[in-house]
Structure 1
Amino acid sequence: MTLTAAEIDDLPRVPISTFKSNPAHYLKSGAAVTTHGRVSAAFIPVSDDRDQNPDAALEAAKARLRLLARLADADIVAEELERLSASRDADLVGEAR
């Protein structure tokens, strides 16, 4: 992830010695770590999307795909894979010399 200069300016500026002594303090706010007054690193908080409610439409699509995968006949799937690999190999392998 690349931060813009404006986003780095919004982070609290913290000397590296202070940051090293308690980095957990900046987990939620993030920090622009400075060395001799210049920003040398930017630590930004990362949101955890596991706590958010999943999209109902996405979950329904995943469920339908899982159901379709279970309904597929193994022999038909194997036959289709053979056809696909044969056509792929024909495209990749040229004429013998």
Structure 2
Amino acid sequence: MTLTAAEIDLLPHVPISTFKANPAHYIHSGAAVTTHGRVSAAFIPVSDETGQEPQAALEAAKTRLRLLARLSDPDVVADELRRVSAARNEETVGDAR
């Protein structure tokens, strides 16, 4: 997500030391974190627009992942595992000096 300068100016400007001391204070409003008076980062709260309880949203995500796993072709999965294993095995470290 990219913010414009005008959108960052709408956020409360907070020194990094204050933000680090209590980041949960800005969970709903967000914050433009400043270092030596200049904005160095923007903390943007992410809203859950699904309207579900957190536990229900987690269970729904797990269910979707299980469904996707069942729909995947076993041959494609096996091929991908072989490619990942081969790439991992190529990353060997040489002999110690």
TM-score, length-scaled by structure 1 = 0.52
2:50 and 2:39 map into 1 onto residues whose CA distance is 32
1:12 and 1:49 map into 2 onto residues whose CA distance is 23
AA paired with 1:26?
Y
2:31 and 2:45 map into 1 onto residues whose CA distance is 9
TM-score, length-scaled by structure 2 = 0.52
**Sequence identity (%):** 85
- The count of corresponding residues between Structure 1 and Structure 2 is 52
- Specify the alignment match of 2:29 in structure 1: 29
2:7 and 2:43 map into 1 onto residues whose CA distance is 11
- Specify the alignment match of 1:45 in structure 2: 45
Structure 1 runs (4+) deviating above 6 angstroms are none
| 1:2-81 matches, cutoff 5 A | 2-51=2-51
Please tell me the root mean square deviation across aligned C-alpha atoms, in Å: 1.0
AA paired with 1:48?
D
| CA-to-aligned-CA distance 1:39-75 (integer Å, 9 cap, x gap) | 00001111101207xxxxxxxxxxxxxxxxxxxxxxx
Q: Matched residue of 1:50: which SS?
A: coil
> Structure 1 regions of 5+ residues with no counterpart?
53-97
AA paired with 1:18?
T
Could you say which structure has the larger radius of gyration? 1
> Structure 2 regions of 5+ residues with no counterpart?
53-97
